[in-house]
Structure 1
Amino acid sequence: MPHSTHADPGSHHPYLRAATAGVRHHTSSLTLAPLPAERPQIDAVHAHFAALHLLLDRLHADTHLPWPSAGQQLAAARTRLWQAATAVHDAYHLLPRPAEPGGVGEDCRPERLPEGPPFLTICQRHLAASHTARRTTSPSDLASPLRTHHSSCTR
């Protein structure tokens, strides 16, 4: 059997293909009825970004020693993804909270849910992911604008 330089993407990360298909499906369903973003949608996008950030961190850790240039690009992608997750987290808090039938917002009744108010779950996820971002990225890199990408790709 000939040796292939391209591994099956599902062999190391079996759920990545399914997750990508799910994101594509939801993206295409959004175009059917253009509506403003709501907190549950933004929360789901943030969950994807946080998971992708951790995946890129792992890929960088496994790649940067054997292929430093590729590792550097993965580190840059991880940083930019963290910046995107932070912007999505901020957008979540700028969206209006859904009102209950009696006019009371979701954060006024934390005793109704055992895990606390729903608006805190995105913050808990963001805080957990921030530990990885702070461990692996300097503050100046986190604040820097996107640099241009230099690649050997030709189109």
Structure 2
Amino acid sequence: MTSTLPVGEAYPYLRAASTGIRHHTHSLASRAQHTTSSADRVHLDVLHTHLTTLHQLLNQLAEAARPPHPAAGLHLATAHTRLWQAAAAVHDAFHLLPVADETSAETECHPERLPEGPPVLTICQRHLAAGHVIRRKTTPSDLNTPLHGHTTPCSQ
């Protein structure tokens, strides 16, 4: 399937997501200059959402590229695995951060108001779904090895 759109217009949702990530990064940087607060669970949940969505996109791109271009498909599959490792690290960090003070009515979690359940379950459900995909396509040793042996003409 060939796109007839100019390259800049071919993936509007991906461009919008990239813009959102840049905005979030700049917002965090300016906030860090004015306060001493560190990362919180909300930021890690949003980041995990981005990582798992990008994980799905890389999976689709790797599958599409593999038959006609095996080497490119291999590189995309490797990126897919590394992105899973990043999502797993963010998920682990999420659970290591302290839970926000839930004594006030504004910050209290009301699972009945959220159709997908409380946020702590949402990140875990998302992570389990992404984990199911990656485990069907890779071995445990692939998931635990660092990036190795991949070169491109621009890195040689």
User: Where on the TM-score scale, by shorter chain, does this alignment land: which range?
Assistant: 0.7 to 0.9
Provide runs of 4+ in structure 1 moved above 6 Å: none
C-alpha distance in structure 1 between counterparts of 2:120 and 2:95, whole Å: 8
User: What residue in structure 2 maps to residue 124 of structure 1?
Assistant: 125
- Specify whether residues 106 and 137 from structure 1 end up closer, same or farther in structure 2 by C-alpha distance, changes over 3 A only: farther
The answer to whether residue 74 in structure 2 is matched with residue 72 in structure 1 is yes
1:18-61 deviations in whole A, cap 9, x for unaligned?
A: 11011011111211121300001000000000000000000000
Aligned with 2:39: secondary structure? coil
Report percent identity of matched pairs.
54
Give the TM-score normalised by the residue count of structure 1. 0.84
User: What residue in structure 2 maps to residue 138 of structure 1?
Assistant: 139
Aligned with 1:33: secondary structure? helix
Tell whether the 8 Å contact from 1:97 to 1:106 is kept in structure 2 after alignment.
no
Q: Match for 1:18 among 16, 19, 37?
A: 16
Which consecutive unaligned segments of at least 5 residues does structure 2 have?
A: 1-5
C-alpha distance in structure 2 between counterparts of 1:106 and 1:145, whole Å: 40
- The AA in structure 2 aligned to 1:126 is H
What is the CA distance between 1:10 and its match in structure 2? 3.5
Tell whether the 8 Å contact from 1:50 to 1:129 is kept in structure 2 after alignment.
yes
Give the TM-score normalised by the residue count of structure 2. 0.83
Which consecutive unaligned segments of at least 5 residues does structure 1 have?
A: 1-6
Structure 1 vs Structure 2 CA RMSD: 2.5
- Specify whether residues 131 and 106 from structure 1 end up closer, same or farther in structure 2 by C-alpha distance, changes over 3 A only: farther
